[in-house]
């Protein structure tokens, strides 16, 4: 039906072929893998799985009973063995696995052998606390190497971990622990964030008071601040690990045994416990880490995500460690002690491949080019982004000021639910276009469909994944019905990720944002990303969020919330100029009725703009659920500002 199609307005014509020098040395230099995967998808994924170490090979690659998939049926393996033991056994034990920088400035280097011993010790500690195969362990920690140790120790003994981002409140932690029925919680006395100490243990204590499933709390000493320890329940990490043996026999896990549960709330609703299993997930993240980031022996990879998000699970812990690369891990904020912290880290540790989020890139744009300009970024050879659509101007800024027009950019589309990267350029072969995640990874089948399931060849529609993939979620923990309802009811046997997208004449995918956020102006359905990108195209604008506001004639009118780059001031003239800029760039239809200048936009703790709340403000309603906001003050200030203007 034409009415549920999404109109496309933005016409981005710039394109960038892989630089010749890069393409020459890349893992993938031609289109053969795309053809191989299209011809024999299961055989192709089995080739990847064979690059892992299995205790027993699988009998069947895929069993697909929609909406449930099993990959590598009958295969046995252990994820921690794949991330540690096999590198040590191959004589690579002295290779640095993690170069860690604490926010206060200390640096630790941990080799694969050391990580192996630490993981084994902590696995023994967990066993000593009564954790057995199948038990859940909650992890609520700062970005320190021990969080990786805790996760891999769980994997070693077959206890699924559920990591809760350290910025979440006691209530959020409590709800997740109770949903997962975790037996042990691993936390720390505190962590450093923007120069202050985060009181993790206090939040943990508040949460665990209402968590009857928790038997023990393991506490890492990170900051040294005094914390109460409840006798019989709480134990110190250092005391237990120093008494533990550095060897621990790994559990032999089935390919389909759970590896972890990770809660995602997206921008709405009760958090869903996304369940990932072992063999398929590991295969997917191994394959994508290797080809998308093009990693080889001498690379230094840095994924700036927190391990509390899926990006940290897949591209800090399981992907890079399964591949055996050296990576950087950083504890703190990008602007502490100054706005050049990330670039100092890149230069100090010789980062070659850098992976971050559009929200971070827009902050860098806002802060100004002088910060990266102060550092030697010549080691960088590849850049990546994930988490939101990247506005073409933010892409160009990244390309010019970080990549120095030398580094390809991989814009990677995926989700907590997909486990690994789904739509992305392979940097040695795919020509990139600013704002497009380009094409599906080999072995992934994506289409653009309309509401009836008809394929949209060019133009806007709904993104759909039309066949199962190894890293896919297996269910929602404890709620298989919600799993079916949420992802599999739009079209039979097809996965609906909830995003709108468009395809151009080359078949490239351009993600337009969550379909819940799509605007409907005078019968035209417009993705938020296109209007926001037109705003960000203006030299004064750092970041923009647009929402549809009820309108008598048009159905919806566009309200835009805009933050400016440093050095620009908010004036009525600029407001009018911005409206005109959007009209000129993508059409009069998309001209915002309203532009509000904001110091900050409301975001989730993982940096996604929460348009739902902006809509509440624009329509003069009471604010909806604000519990997943990083800074609830941002919306209340905006609401006051908006109401003042209206009155
Ligand atoms: O809307 C898409 C957006 O983020 C959603 C998934 O969020 P989450 O589960 O938190 O995982 C984020 C890290 C993988 C998607 O449904 N998204 C993610 N990457 C992109 C993106 N939107 C556009 N372009 C991307 N590269």
Q: Report d(CA 349, CA 351) in Å as an integer.
A: 6
What would the mean pLDDT of 235-264 be, rounded to a whole number? 98
Give the SS3 label for residue 137: strand
pTM of the model: 0.94
When pLDDT is averaged across residues 426-453 and rounded to a whole number, the result is 97
pLDDT of residue 11: 84
What top-level class would CATH report for the domain 518-646? alpha beta
Burial class (CB in 10 A: 0-12, 13-18, 19+), 39: exposed
Q: What is the pLDDT of residues 276-316, one digit of tens each?
A: 999 999 999 999 999 999 999 999 999 999 999 999 999 99
Domain boundaries of the chain, sorted by first residue: 2-501, 518-646
- Residue minimizing CA distance to atom 26 of ligand 1: 413
pLDDT digits (tens, 9 = 90+) for 611-639: 989 999 999 888 887 877 888 888 888 88
pLDDT, residue 1, reads 39
Strand, coil or helix: 400: helix
Task: Note the pLDDT tens digit of each residue in 529-540.
Answer: 999 999 999 999
Phi, psi of 234 (to 5 degrees): -95, 140
- Span from the CA of 284 to the centroid of ligand 1 (angstroms): 17
Question: If 0-12 CB within 10 Å is exposed, 13-18 middle and 19+ buried, where does residue 245 land?
Answer: exposed
User: Does 388 contact ligand 1 (Cβ within 6 A)?
Assistant: yes
- The pLDDT of residue 267 is 53
Judged against a pLDDT cut of 60, whether residue 85 lies above it is answered with: yes
Edge-to-edge, what's the strand order for the sheet holding 459-465? 446-449, 459-465, 499-503, 509-514
The protein residue whose alpha carbon is closest to atom 2 in ligand 1 is 388
Q: 345-354 pLDDT, tens per residue?
A: 999 999 999 9
- The Å distance, Cα 499 to ligand 1 centre, comes to 9
Is any atom of ligand 1 closer than 6 Å to the C-beta of 415? yes
Q: In sequence order, what are the residues at sequence separation of 6 or more whose Cβ sits closer than 8 angstroms to the Cβ of residue 219? A: 187, 188, 189, 201, 227, 229, 234, 235, 236, 237
Cβ 414 under 6 angstroms from ligand 1: yes
CATH 3.30.360.10 fits 2-501, yes or no: no
Alpha carbons 613 and 609: distance in angstroms, whole number: 9
Residue 412 to residues 357, 435, 509, Cα–Cα distance (Å): 10, 11, 11
Q: Mean pLDDT throughout 176-203?
A: 96
């Amino acid at each position: 039906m034409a009415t549920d199609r999404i109109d496309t307005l933005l016409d981005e014509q710039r394109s960038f072929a892989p630089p010749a020098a890069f393409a020459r040395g890349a893992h993938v230099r031609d289109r053969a893998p795309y053809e191989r995967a299209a011809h024999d998808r299961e055989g192709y994924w089995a080739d990847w799985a064979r690059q892992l170490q299995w205790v027993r090979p699988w009998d069947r690659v895929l069993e697909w009973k929609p909406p449930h998939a099993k990959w590598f049926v009958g295969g046995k393996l252990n994820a921690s063995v794949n991330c540690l033991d096999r590198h040590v056994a191959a004589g690579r034990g002295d290779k640095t696995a993690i170069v860690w920088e604490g926010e206060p400035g200390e640096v630790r280097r941990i080799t694969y052998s050391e990580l192996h011993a630490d993981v084994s010790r902590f696995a023994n500690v967990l066993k000593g606390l009564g954790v057995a195969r199948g038990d859940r362990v909650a992890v609520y920690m700062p970005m320190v190497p021990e969080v990786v140790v805790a996760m891999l120790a769980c994997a070693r003994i077959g206890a699924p971990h559920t990591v809760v981002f350290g910025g979440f409140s006691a209530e959020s932690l409590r709800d997740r622990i109770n949903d997962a029925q975790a037996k042990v919680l691993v936390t720390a006395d505190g962590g450093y964030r923007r120069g202050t100490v985060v009181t993790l243990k206090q939040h943990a204590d508040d949460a665990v008071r209402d968590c009857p499933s928790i038997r023990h709390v393991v506490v890492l000493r990170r900051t040294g601040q005094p914390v109460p320890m409840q006798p019989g329940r709480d134990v110190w990490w250092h005391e237990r690990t120093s008494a533990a043996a550095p060897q621990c026999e790994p559990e032999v896990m089935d390919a389909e045994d759970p590896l972890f549960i990770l809660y995602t709330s997206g921008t709405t609703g009760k958090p869903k416990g996304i369940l990932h299993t072992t063999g398929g997930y590991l295969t997917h993240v191994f394959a994508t880490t290797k080809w998308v980031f093009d990693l080889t022996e001498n690379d230094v990879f840095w994924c700036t995500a927190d391990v509390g998000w899926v990006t940290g699970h897949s591209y800090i812990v399981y992907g890079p460690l399964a591949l055996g690369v050296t990576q950087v891990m950083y504890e703190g904020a990008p602007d502490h002690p100054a706005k050049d912290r990330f670039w100092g880290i890149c230069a100090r540790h010789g980062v070659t491949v850098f992976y971050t989020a559009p929200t971070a890139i827009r902050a860098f744009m806002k802060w100004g080019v002088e910060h990266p300009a102060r550092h030697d970024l010549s080691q960088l050879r590849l850049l990546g982004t994930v988490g939101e659509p990247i506005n073409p101007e933010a892409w160009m800024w990244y390309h010019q000021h970080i990549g120095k027009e030398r580094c390809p950019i991989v814009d990677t589309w995926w989700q907590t639910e997909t486990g690994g990267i789904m739509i992305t350029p392979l940097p040695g072969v795919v020509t990139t276009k600013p704002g497009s995640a380009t094409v599906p990874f080999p072995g992934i089948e994506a289409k653009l469909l309309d509401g009836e399931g008809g394929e949209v060849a060019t133009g806007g529609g709904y993104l759909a994944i039309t066949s199962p993939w190894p890293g896919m979620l297996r269910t929602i923990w404890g709620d298989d019905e919600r799993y079916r309802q949420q992802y599999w009811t739009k079209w039979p046997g097809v996965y609906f990720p909830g995003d709108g997208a468009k395809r151009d004449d080359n078949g490239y995918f351009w993600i337009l944002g969550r379909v819940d956020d799509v605007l409907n102006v005078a019968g035209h359905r417009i993705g938020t990303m296109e209007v926001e990108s037109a705003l960000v195209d203006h030299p004064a604008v750092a970041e923009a969020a647009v929402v549809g506001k009820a309108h008598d004639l048009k159905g919806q009118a566009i309200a835009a919330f805009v933050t400016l780059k440093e050095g620009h001031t908010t004036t009525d003239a600029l407001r009018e100029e911005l409206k005109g800029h959007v009209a000129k760039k993508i059409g009069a239809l998309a001209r915002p009725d309203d532009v509000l200048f904001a110091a900050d936009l409301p975001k989730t703790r993982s940096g996604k703009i929460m348009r739902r709340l902006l809509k509440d403000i624009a329509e003069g309603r009471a604010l909806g659920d604000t519990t997943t906001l990083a800074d609830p003050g941002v919306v209340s200030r905006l609401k006051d500002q908006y109401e003042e203007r209206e009155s």
